[in-house]
Amino acid sequence: MKIQEADAKSLLVAQGLPVPPWEVAHTPAEARAAAARFLAEGPVGGKVVIKAQVLVGGRGKAGGVKLARSADEAEAVARDILALEIKGIPVRKVLVGPAAQIEKEYYLSAVLDRAGRRILLMGSAEGGVEIEQVAAERPDAIVTLGADPYLGLQPFQARELAFRLGLGSHLREFVDIAVGLVRTMRAYDADLVEINPLAIVVEGVPSSAPVDRLLCLDAKVTLDDSALFRHPGLEDLRDPDEEAPADREAREAGLTFIKLDGTIGCMVNGAGLAMTTMDLVKRAGGEPANFLDIGGGARADKVAHAMRLILADPKVNAILVNIFGGITRGDEVARGLIEARSQQTRDVPMVVRIVGTNAAEAAILLREARFVTASTLDEAAAQAVAASRGAAA
Ligand code: GDP
Ligand code: MN
């Protein structure tokens, strides 16, 4: 689950990381009021920053991050940003905060290294730009370091990282931040905590000498969906406005659904069987349109729901249903399919294979309803691919 910058920053603050203050505004008037409050505190440089809150990167380049020197200007800038669409997503809210005076931008993230079974820290002195670009153009500009799964990130490791990034003069602050990132990752079961830019900023009152320090100016956190049950409070950070409608529907119906690019819709029970089914569709020369696991013990209404999800994808021109009845009863699935077809607005060829619990009852129901059935998975995949080709021709 992706969360907005402002929410990611709340998690960082809760873990003691240095983040400048902010407010979230939904209208230009709210942005104006927030800007006035921050400007009254006399930030160094006398400006506020206004940032689009959308779940995509590269907001700066897209015109979604701007500075303003007055409440009037902040209102106008917020109005512009709230009218933007960034990478297809309409901006519905902005973050307003005191603008930092940046001296240099760095990149620092903690990511889950699945293959290495540990948390990986990635840093670069070329911050501010998207890390994928740095990785592609100057891979040697990225420094990585693995945290021990049991001991976590050791301070000596964080110090080594600081020196390799040229941040030796901010050693203590950097060590706290790096250790804090790993702590944040573990505290919330995140699979990514990214600070870009982590910046050296100038701070201080006009009368005294300026000081520079490290601040987390941007934050991106993604949470492991499978671990969300351990953090009930984090569910509130889900932004329903930005969840794809199909994803939301699937989640609410208790279905595991991942949209893909092919033409053959797949409805299967069990993740392993769903993977196998996709493999066999590919082997038969087709492309699956989705991964869909209806789960164990799915009832007729859930099946009908799954069918609506599959058909909502206009690219789908054939459907393969593969059910292995264990706790899932074949006749229930058959009833769901019959119900779904009676409500269907689009006629798409469908091949059904149901084996296991109550398969005989299912076969009778399907035959009466004139469904096309198959007995083996290879046969079912071949028929679905042929139907898809026929529909495309
Ligand atoms: P992103 O483009 O979506 O990653 O958004 P960021 O929050 O990283 O902002 C993009 C760029 O805007 C940063 O790399 C900075 O150069 C600039 N920026 C962000 N916040 C501030 C700020 O407080 N002060 C100044 N001067 N620039 C900022
Ligand atoms: Mn950024």
* Closest CA relative to residue 373, chosen from 360, 354, 357, 389: 354
For 271, 276, 286, 310, the CA distances from 230, given in Å and listed in that order, are 22, 30, 39, 30
* Closest CA relative to residue 278, chosen from 294, 269, 263, 291: 291
- The phi-psi region of residue 213 (left if phi > 0; otherwise alpha if psi is between -120 and 50; otherwise beta) is beta
Mutate to test the pocket of ligand 1, among 2, 65, 109 (most ligand atoms within 8 A of CB): 65
194 in catalytic set: yes
Determine the pLDDT at residue 254: 87
| Sign, CA torsion 104/41/221/161 | positive
85 in catalytic set: no
Residues having CB closer than 6 A to ligand 1 are 49, 51, 57-60, 65, 99-100, 102, 105, 128, 196-197, 217-218
Q: Cβ(159)–Cβ(175) under 8 Å?
A: yes
- Compute the distance from residue 169 Cα to the ligand 1 centre, in Å: 23
- The phi-psi region of residue 62 (left if phi > 0; otherwise alpha if psi is between -120 and 50; otherwise beta) is alpha
| Closest ligand to Cα 19 | 1
Determine the pLDDT at residue 253: 86
Q: Cβ(93)–Cβ(31) under 8 Å?
A: no
Give exposure, 285-296, as e/b (b: 16+ Cβ within 10 Å). Answer: ebebbbbbbbbe
Determine the pLDDT at residue 241: 84
- CA dist., res. 388 & res. 390, Å (int): 5
Selecting among 5, 75, 105, 194, the annotated active-site residue is: 194
**211, 198, 58, 242 alpha-carbon torsion, rounded to 10°:** -110
* Closest CA relative to residue 40, chosen from 65, 70, 79: 70
* Closest CA relative to residue 4, chosen from 176, 218, 312, 269: 218
Q: pLDDT tens digits, residue range 48-87?
A: 999 999 999 899 999 999 999 999 999 999 999 999 999 9
Strand partners for 323: 354
| Closest ligand to Cα 201 | 1
Print pLDDT tens along the chain (393 aa).
Answer: 999 999 999 999 999 999 999 999 999 999 999 999 999 999 889 999 999 999 998 999 999 999 999 999 999 999 999 999 999 899 999 999 999 999 999 999 999 999 999 999 999 999 988 888 998 999 999 999 999 888 889 999 999 999 999 999 999 999 999 999 999 999 999 999 999 999 999 987 666 777 899 999 999 999 998 899 999 999 999 998 888 788 888 888 889 999 999 999 999 999 999 999 999 999 999 999 999 999 887 788 888 889 999 999 999 999 999 999 888 899 999 999 999 888 888 889 999 999 999 999 999 999 999 999 999 999 999 999 999 999 888
Per-position DSSP letters for 367-379, written without gaps between them: HHTT-EE-SSHHH
Determine the pLDDT at residue 148: 86
Atom 16 of ligand 1: nearest residue by CA position: 128
C-alpha distance across the termini of the chain, in Å: 39
Mutate to test the pocket of ligand 1, among 55, 102, 134 (most ligand atoms within 8 A of CB): 102
- CA dist., res. 175 & res. 155, Å (int): 6
Q: Cβ(392)–Cβ(386) under 8 Å?
A: no
Determine the pLDDT at residue 251: 85
Determine the pLDDT at residue 203: 87
For residue 264, what is the DSSP state?
E
Determine the pLDDT at residue 206: 62
Identity (one letter) of the amino acid at 192?
L
Determine the pLDDT at residue 205: 63
For 178, 297, 316, the CA distances from 374, given in Å and listed in that order, are 56, 22, 20
For 89, 124, 139, the CA distances from 132, given in Å and listed in that order, are 21, 12, 9
